[in-house]
A and B are shown apart, each in its own frame.
Chain A
């Protein structure tokens, strides 16, 4: 079966670091994606991992371990505008199919 798990909610303080975990079990794997979605808006692409290791992009980094079926998104120097839902998604097959987790709602407090 297909299963992607991530925490439902997290809270962190402005200026801090937060790590959002994602575990997956899927029948195929073509890469792991992270998206950010602010309330009432469309998801926006953040990062993509297909090989094991850490990908860094500014304040955001994403890590992948394929053998463990595990990824995390690391957000540094948190800002209030980072309050949003963070969606973990796994690519499966060759038709562009993405399987999404239910998202982690992050609240950044002053």
Chain B
């Protein structure tokens, strides 16, 4: 399934670095999501975008900054991260922002913060 792609697949960064994660969906969907998946913890929703407008910010620290320039692309800009931010970051999309349709996930970016 290549409907949702994410780059890079792996990223190692220091606490003072600035990096960006990229997500692209080829499904014609109108909603996109960022999730964080840490070891032994449930998937946590971070942000929801509907038609390029942010509609949900799940109490995420400001060192994570999302950007949605169009309905096919979603970025997560990272700066001054902490080691506890190391996790798998998953992007997802759905036809509409409501939950009557399934969300389709990308392969994720494995982030390690040193």
Contact = CB atoms under 8 A, between A and B. Distances in A.
Contacts of A100: 42-44
Interface of B: 1, 4, 31, 33, 40-45, 48, 50, 55-56, 58, 90, 94, 96-100, 102-108
A65 B94 CA distance: 25
Given A48-B102, A96-B94, A97-B56, A4 B107 contact: no
A104 B99 CA distance: 22
- If over half of B's interface residues share one DSSP class (helix, strand or loop), that class is named, otherwise mixed; here it is loop
B104 A30 contact: no
Interface of A: 4, 30-31, 33, 35, 41-45, 48, 50, 87, 89, 91-103
Given A97-B48, A102-B42, A44 B105 contact: yes
A96 B47 CA distance: 10
A103 B41 CA distance: 9
Contacts, number: 74
Contacts of B45: 97-99
B42 A31 contact: no
Nearest to A103: B42
A94 B43 contact: no
A95 B1 contact: no
A46 B56 CA distance: 24
Nearest to A89: B43
B51 to A, nearest CB: 12
Contact of A44 (B1, B33, B94, B100): B1
Given A95-B55, A96-B94, A100-B42, A42 B100 contact: no
Nearest to A47: B102
B59 to A, nearest CB: 12
B103 A94 contact: no
A101 B103 contact: no
Most chain B CB atoms below 10 A, which of A92, A97, A103? A97
